[in-house]
Amino acid sequence: MQDSGRREDSRVNNVVTLAEAMRRGYIIRSNPPEDGVCEFCGKVLPPCGLVLGNEVMLWRNTKCTCEKARAEADRKAREEKAEKDRLAEEERQRELKQRIGRLLNDSGIKKRFQKRTFDNFRRDTTGRNYSYMVAKRYADNWDQHRERGDGLYIEGTNGTGKTHLAAAIAMQLIGRGVPVICKTGSDILMDIKRAFDSTDLQEYQIVDIYKRVDLLIVDDLGKEQCSDWSMSTLYSIFNDRYEDMRPTIITTNYNTDCLIEALTPHGYDNTKILAIISRLRETSTVLTMAWEDARIDAGGPR
Ligand SMILES: [Zn+2]
C-alpha cells in the first residue's frame, strides 16, 4: 500500500505541455487554458498539465524564466513572506498580551501595586536613586539572574519604597512574559491554608506553585504569624528554590537578627531559619533601604 503511494507521488511531479501530452498519448481530462504571454518579454507561455499515471489531471499556466519575470516573482514572494511574518508577529504579540494578562492574574500583585513601576519611583535622594539602579539592573539582567539563580534581598525601614521596587521588577518581567508571583509571606501562607478546606487541591500542589514559579517575590517577610507549620512551610519553599537555583526576592523591615527571631517560633531552635536566611543573603544582592519614612514625609503612600 505504502509502495504504490510512493510511486504515485513521483508520477504526480510529471508535468507536460499539451503537445507533449498528445504525443505521448495521455488521456486529457480537461481542456487546457489559453496560452499565456509574459508581460515583460512577450514570450508565449503554453500551459502545463500535471500527469498522474497516463492521465493529465490539472492544467496551470507556466511562468516565464526571463530576468524581469523572475525578479517580479521574487519580489512577490518577498512581499508574501513579509506579510506572513507580519501576521505571525501580530499573532505572537496577541498571544504575549494574553499571556501577560494571565500572568498578572496569577501573580498575586494587587491592583494598587500594579501601578508601581520604575517610571514612577521617586529618585530624588542618593539612597533612592541607588536603590532604583540596583533594582532596575536586576530586572534588566533577568536572564543572567535566572541562569545563576540569584535574587535580591531588600531590607530597610518602613515606607522607603521596598515594595514599590519589588513590584516594579515584577511588572517589568511580567511585561516580558516571565511568570512572577509577588505576595506577602502572610498571603502565601493563607493561600496554602486554603488547601486545608479544599477537596480538589492538595497543600503540596499549592506549595509547588511557589517552589517552581520563575521568580518568587516575598514581600514583607517576618510579618507572618509565626507557627511551627508556617515556618516549616516557608522554609521548605525557600530551601527548594535555593536547591533548584530559582531566584527569590525578599523585602523585609527587619535586620537579619530580628528577622531570624521573628521567623523562629517561640521555644524553637533557630538553626534552620538562620541557615535559610543566610543562604538567601548569600545568593542575593543585598540592598538596604533605610531612611525616614516617605509616607510621613510626603503625607501619602509611595
Ligand atoms: Zn519573460
Domains along the sequence of the chain with CATH: 2-60 (no CATH), 108-297 (3.40.50.300)
Ligand 1 centre to CA of 23 (Å) is 26
Helix-helix angle 271-282:256-263, to 10 degrees = 140
Ligand 1 centre to CA of 67 (Å) is 7
Ligand 1 centre to CA of 17 (Å) is 18
- The pLDDT of residue 101: 86
Distant-in-sequence, close-in-space partners of 237: CB < 8 Å, separation ≥ 6 = 188, 207, 210, 211, 216
**pTM of the shown model:** 0.73
And the C-alpha cell for 10?
A: 513521483
Q: Is the pLDDT of residue 58 over 90?
A: no
Q: Is the pLDDT of residue 295 over 60?
A: no
Ligand 1 centre to CA of 26 (Å) is 29
Distance in angstroms (rounded) separating the CA atoms of residues 293 and 302: 10
Q: What is the pLDDT of residues 209-258, one digit of tens each?
A: 999 999 999 999 999 888 889 899 999 999 999 999 999 999 999 999 99
Ligand 1 centre to CA of 38 (Å) is 5
Q: Is the pLDDT of residue 159 over 60?
A: yes
Ligand 1 centre to CA of 65 (Å) is 6
Distance in angstroms (rounded) separating the CA atoms of residues 44 and 66: 12
